[in-house]
Structure 1
Amino acid sequence: MATLSLLSKSYYIVFVLSLSFIGSFPCLDDQREALLEFKDLLFGELMADNSTDMFLGGLETWNSSSECCQWALVECNSQQVTGLKLYSVFPTLGKTSTVLAPIFRIKTLMSLDISYNSIQGEIPGIGLRNLSELVYLDMRGNSFNGSIPLQLFHLANLEFLDLSDNMIEAVLPNEVVGLKSLKQLSLDANFIHGELPEEIGNLIELKKFTVPDNQISGRIPLSILQLRKLEVLNLQNNSFSLEIPADIGSLVNLTTLDLSKNRLSGEIPSSIQKMRKLETLQLENNMLSGEIPTWLFVLKEMKKLHLGGNKLAWNNNLAIKPKCKLSSLSLRSCSVKGQIPSWISNQTDLIYLDLSENDLEGDFPQWLAERNLGTIILSDNKLTGSLPSQLFQSRNLSVLALSRNNFFGELPEINTTSIMVLLLSENNFSGPLPKSISNIHRMLLLDLSKNSFSGNEFPAFGPDSLIAFVDVSYNNFSGKFLRISDSLR
Structure 2
Amino acid sequence: MPSLGLALMLLASLISPASSSCSEHEKSSLLQLLAGLSRDGGLATSWRSNTDCCTWEGITCNQDRKVTDVSLASRGLEGSISPSLGNLTGLLRLNLSRNSLSGALPLELVSSSSIIVLDVSFNRLAGALHELPSSTPARPLQIPTTPCASAPSLAVLELSFNKFSGNIPPGFGNCSVLKMLSAGYNNLCGTLPGELFNITSLEHLSLPNNWLDGAVNGIGKLTNLVTLDLGENGFTGNIPESIGDLKRLEELQLEHNNMSGELPTALSNCTNLVTIDLNTNRFSGELNKVKFASLSNLRKLDLLFNDFTGTIPESIYSCTNLTALRLSYNRFHGQLSEKISNLKYLSFLSLSNNSLTNITRTLQILSSSKSLTTLYIGCNFLDETMPQDDSIDGFENLQVLSMSECSLSGTIPDWLSKLKNLGMLFLQSNQLTGRVPDWISSLNLLFYLDISNNSFTGEIPPALMEMPMLRSDKTPPKVFFELLVWNENTFMQYLMLSAFPKVLNLAINNFTGVIPEEIGQLKGLISLNLSSNRLSGEMPEQICNLTNLQVLDLSGNQLTGTIPAALKNLHFLSRFNVSNNDLEGPIPNVGQFSTFPDSSFGGNPKLCSPMITNHCGSAEAGPVSTKHIGNEVIFAIAFGIFFGVGVLYDQIVLARYFG
Smaller-chain TM-score bracket: 0.7 to 0.9
- Paired residues of 1:57 and 1:89 also in contact (CA < 8 A): no
Given the alignment of the two structures, is residue 193 of structure 1 paired with residue 229 of structure 2, yes or no? no
CA–CA distance in 1 between the matches of 2:259 and 2:567?
45
CA–CA distance in 1 between the matches of 2:279 and 2:570?
37
- CA 1:443–1:464: 2 relative to 1, 3 Å: closer
CA–CA distance in 2 between the matches of 1:479 and 1:353?
38
**Structure 2, unpaired ranges of 5+:** 1-11, 81-99, 138-151, 212-232, 382-405, 477-500, 596-659
Q: Size of the alignment, in residue pairs?
A: 462
Q: Aligned to 1:56, which of 41, 61, 66?
A: 41
| One-letter amino acid of the structure 1 residue matched with residue 428 of structure 2 | S
CA–CA distance in 1 between the matches of 2:355 and 2:25?
63
- CA 1:276–1:350: 2 relative to 1, 3 Å: farther
SS state at 1:413 partner: helix
Given the alignment of the two structures, is residue 165 of structure 1 paired with residue 206 of structure 2, yes or no? no
Q: TM-score, normalised by structure 2?
A: 0.58
- Paired residues of 2:568 and 2:592 also in contact (CA < 8 A): no
SS state at 2:316 partner: helix
- CA 1:363–1:57: 2 relative to 1, 3 Å: farther
Given the alignment of the two structures, is residue 205 of structure 1 paired with residue 281 of structure 2, yes or no? no
- CA 1:59–1:382: 2 relative to 1, 3 Å: farther
- CA 1:124–1:240: 2 relative to 1, 3 Å: farther
- Paired residues of 1:351 and 1:372 also in contact (CA < 8 A): yes
CA–CA distance in 2 between the matches of 1:87 and 1:393?
39
Given the alignment of the two structures, is residue 433 of structure 1 paired with residue 506 of structure 2, yes or no? no
Given the alignment of the two structures, is residue 333 of structure 1 paired with residue 379 of structure 2, yes or no? yes
- Paired residues of 2:449 and 2:504 also in contact (CA < 8 A): yes
Given the alignment of the two structures, is residue 372 of structure 1 paired with residue 440 of structure 2, yes or no? no
- Paired residues of 2:173 and 2:199 also in contact (CA < 8 A): yes
Could you give the per-residue CA deviations for residues 306-365 of structure 1, whole angstroms, max 9, x where no partner exists? 232334445235534232343333223223533456665544444344343344444435
Given the alignment of the two structures, is residue 456 of structure 1 paired with residue 562 of structure 2, yes or no? yes
Q: Aligned to 2:360, which of 316, 321, 336?
A: 316
CA–CA distance in 1 between the matches of 2:456 and 2:376?
18
SS state at 1:479 partner: strand
CA–CA distance in 2 between the matches of 1:248 and 1:213?
23
The 5-angstrom pairing of residues 67-106 of structure 1 reads: 70-73=55-58, 79=66, 81=68, 84=71, 86=73, 89-90=76-77, 98-106=104-112
Q: CA deviation at 1:366?
A: 4.4
| One-letter amino acid of the structure 2 residue matched with residue 474 of structure 1 | N
**Structure 1, unpaired ranges of 5+:** 1-16, 47-53
- Paired residues of 1:88 and 1:117 also in contact (CA < 8 A): no
- CA 1:203–1:293: 2 relative to 1, 3 Å: same
CA–CA distance in 1 between the matches of 2:558 and 2:448?
25
CA–CA distance in 2 between the matches of 1:83 and 1:126?
22
The 5-angstrom pairing of residues 115-130 of structure 1 reads: 115-126=121-132
CA–CA distance in 1 between the matches of 2:155 and 2:265?
28
CA–CA distance in 1 between the matches of 2:415 and 2:120?
48
- Paired residues of 1:256 and 1:280 also in contact (CA < 8 A): yes
Q: Aligned to 1:403, which of 499, 504, 507?
A: 507
CA–CA distance in 2 between the matches of 1:442 and 1:146?
45
Aligned to 1:393: 471
CA–CA distance in 2 between the matches of 1:130 and 1:174?
21
Could you give the per-residue CA deviations for residues 64-122 of structure 1, whole angstroms, max 9, x where no partner exists? 66666655445667656367554575467686663332322444434332122111122
The 5-angstrom pairing of residues 277-292 of structure 1 reads: 277-292=321-336
CA–CA distance in 1 between the matches of 2:305 and 2:276?
14
Aligned to 2:428: 356
Could you give the per-residue CA deviations for residues 230-282 of structure 1, whole angstroms, max 9, x where no partner exists? 33333334444444464345433233333323444443332221232322223
Aligned to 2:163: 143
- Paired residues of 2:465 and 2:521 also in contact (CA < 8 A): no
- Paired residues of 1:334 and 1:358 also in contact (CA < 8 A): no
| One-letter amino acid of the structure 1 residue matched with residue 128 of structure 2 | E
- Paired residues of 1:190 and 1:213 also in contact (CA < 8 A): no
Identity in percent = 27
- Paired residues of 1:87 and 1:116 also in contact (CA < 8 A): no
- CA 1:273–1:197: 2 relative to 1, 3 Å: closer
Q: Aligned to 1:109, which of 112, 115, 132?
A: 115
| One-letter amino acid of the structure 1 residue matched with residue 581 of structure 2 | N
CA–CA distance in 2 between the matches of 1:308 and 1:273?
18
Could you give the per-residue CA deviations for residues 443-471 of structure 1, whole angstroms, max 9, x where no partner exists? 33333322333332336444672222212
- Paired residues of 2:102 and 2:123 also in contact (CA < 8 A): no
- Paired residues of 1:88 and 1:114 also in contact (CA < 8 A): no
CA–CA distance in 2 between the matches of 1:187 and 1:240?
21
- Paired residues of 2:292 and 2:318 also in contact (CA < 8 A): no
**What is the root-mean-square deviation of aligned Cα atoms in Å?**
4.2
Could you give the per-residue CA deviations for residues 403-447 of structure 1, whole angstroms, max 9, x where no partner exists? 333444435424244333333332334443343433334433333
- Paired residues of 1:327 and 1:352 also in contact (CA < 8 A): no
Aligned to 1:13: none
SS state at 1:119 partner: strand
- Paired residues of 1:333 and 1:357 also in contact (CA < 8 A): no
- Paired residues of 2:299 and 2:323 also in contact (CA < 8 A): yes
Moved more, 68-77 or 361-370: 68-77
CA–CA distance in 2 between the matches of 1:215 and 1:129?
36
Q: CA deviation at 1:179?
A: 5.5
- CA 1:368–1:122: 2 relative to 1, 3 Å: farther
